[in-house]
A and B are shown apart, each in its own frame.
Chain A
Amino acid sequence: MTPRGKAIEVKEVSKDFGTFRALESVSFEIFDNEFFTLLGPSGCGKTTLLRMLAGFDTPTTGSIHLHGRPILDLPPHKRRVNTVFQSYALFPHLSVEQNIAFGLENLGWAKDRRLARTAAMLDMVHMTQFARRRPDQLSGGQRQRIALARALAPEPEVLLLDEPLSALDLKLRQAMRDELRQLQRRTGITFVFVTHDQEEALDMSDRICVLGQGRIQHLGTPNEIYEDPENRFVADFIGETNFLAVEVLEVTGDRARVRTPMGLEVTTFQKGAIAGQKAMLSLRPEKIGMEDQATGEVMRGRITNRNYMGGYTHYTVDVAGTEFRVSKRNAVTHGQSFEPGREVTLGFRQDSARVLGR
């Protein structure tokens, strides 16, 4: 990929609400044409960060640049960024058309240019026949599209999206994910997307910034964040995992040799491990094979619980007093299911586990 310009630079941004520190020296860059996601549990500071980009909040310390220009002194209406609000915030007294044209009028666009742009936006979100409706005559998904069209119409340098899919039902949410992604590719506008839904983030983003307790926990591609989490917080927050308290025997470069409570020695990739100290071994449920798929390090255990999820089944397996969550796809072994109480063999490859020092 060719080197890209920096759309947004956030430098050492901190935010205090009274005595509560919501953000602690957060720094990152967002590139042009990127689908960038701020992901974290509620209260992690992701929405505060988004509001700072829009201009509704100011950091206590730090700086934010938009395409090289500092923007913290600019009021919201002078920043070339637009927001898709969680509640959509469509103007109830204006028609769909007037909502979309609102920003264009304030920017002083000539009437014919404004009309053409509004029509193009309506077409883009497939809402042309609803141009004269009022927002209260639209469904949730339709409002969502209008909110998107309204925010994209003024050709912002960056589009901010504040949990825009959270108010939609599951089926619609899936469809809107694809639509959002396509829209981003087609318009080439940088998207900054805020969500607490890890699946949404993994599905749509170019890069994800995982926030927790006011700090950046991990910044990387969806694959990096899931496969090579920076720390326990990220491993735990993204997807599901088994944690084993281990003792670090030896650290060599990006690998470590550790000993599990069962006495098993494992050598695999590590982050933050220090020889002689305690660490956690993270093992994803889907990376543990069961019975005929048990390869690598093999353990015997007994199934204590089973959750049938349709496409796959979650088992809880007790191995000498340690509980493992094991996920098994149902497609491979058609109709085969293991009853709780059954003794099974589990197996995992050493390099599919991760040693996390922090």
Chain B
Amino acid sequence: MSGARFRPDFRLWGLLPAWVIMGFTLILPIGIVVLVAFGTRGAYGGFGWGFSGASFQQILFQKGWTEELEFNPQYLEIIARTLWLAALTTAICAALATPVAYYIACQPPKRRAALVYLVTLPFWVSMIVRVYAWLIILGNDGVIEKSLRAVGLVEDIDSLLFNNTAMLLGMVYSYIPLMILPVFASMEKLDGTLIEASHDLYANRWVTARRVILPLARPGIVAGAVLVFVPCLGAVLEPILLGGGKQMLMGNLIQTQFGGGRNWPFGAAVAVVLMALVMLVLMINALRTRPAGEAAA
């Protein structure tokens, strides 16, 4: 009896360490970022106390010669490019990961475990090293250029690096395991007799994939899409290394403002916009999956 009375208290106190850690490492830093975003720019970097919306204004407008506000699409373009690349990465990851996940799910259990292990293997290597590897593959005199030359297809090619495609490639490569794993998890649960039933009812392979396998794997694909899309929004390494800093994304825009740009309030403002976008994606997902999840349960 005393244990039962004690439990509600313990539930509160037991969670305290988690609350403290969350407070200090998540909520407090976010608060600081928001505070900085509304602050003023310091003379030598840093920031000054105050309250000004100037940094957010700077995302959309720039001051002309006579201090009048002119619309400046420069940063909007970066935000749009970030969203576009993240969406494209997610779509490509989903398209590539679904057949891979299905293949793995169809293997005998022992082989399945080995293949899943192989999918997670890249996580054991530092992200920087993995992205850097693409510099060697795509770069001047890189693996691709050399082999193309060896086959005699080309004499000399312009650099394959430092463009949107290179960034996209790097992002797909970095985040595809995050898509494969949840899709695999939902396909592994798929009842094989449903596929047989589909064939039995005159559906060929493609119809079965479209009408049975994909709808049943949808929760996995949605989970994977969130896992890929959200980190893609904040990608820093790919635009710096593979985009060469020429193609800005929000991630390296923020990094530049805090680093070289020495405009902390502006960097913080972009970061707040980024966080808002992430929140939006997560909220849409939560609203979308709830009714579907109830129907599937």
Contact = CB atoms under 8 A, between A and B. Distances in A.
A151 B198 CA distance: 11
A93 B191 contact: no
B202 A77 contact: yes
A18 to B, nearest CB: 14
Given A87-B191, A89-B191, A92-B296, A54 B200 contact: yes
B200 A76 contact: yes
Interface of B: 191, 193-194, 196-204, 207, 211-212, 215-216, 295-297
Contacts of A154: 201-202
Contacts of B201: 77, 82, 102-103, 106, 150-151, 154
Interface of A: 54-56, 75-78, 81-83, 85, 87, 89-93, 102-103, 106-107, 134, 136, 150-151, 154
A328 B102 CA distance: 59
B202 to A, nearest CB: 4
A150 B198 CA distance: 11
B196 A77 contact: no
B19 to A, nearest CB: 38
B194 A89 contact: yes
A285 B162 CA distance: 89
B207 A106 contact: yes
Contacts of A103: 201-202
A289 B191 CA distance: 53
A97 to B, nearest CB: 14
A85 B199 contact: no
22 contacts: A76-B199, A77-B201, A77-B204, A78-B202, A81-B200, A82-B200, A85-B193, A85-B196, A87-B191, A89-B196, A90-B197, A91-B197, A91-B198, A91-B212, A93-B215, A93-B296, A102-B201, A102-B211, A103-B201, A103-B202, A107-B202, A134-B295
Contacts of B193: 85, 87, 89
Contacts of B198: 91, 102
B219 to A, nearest CB: 10
B200 A77 contact: yes
Given A93-B215, A93-B296, A85 B197 contact: yes
Contacts of A136: 297
A75 B196 CA distance: 11
A76 B204 CA distance: 9
Contacts of A92: 194, 216, 296
A85 B193 CA distance: 8
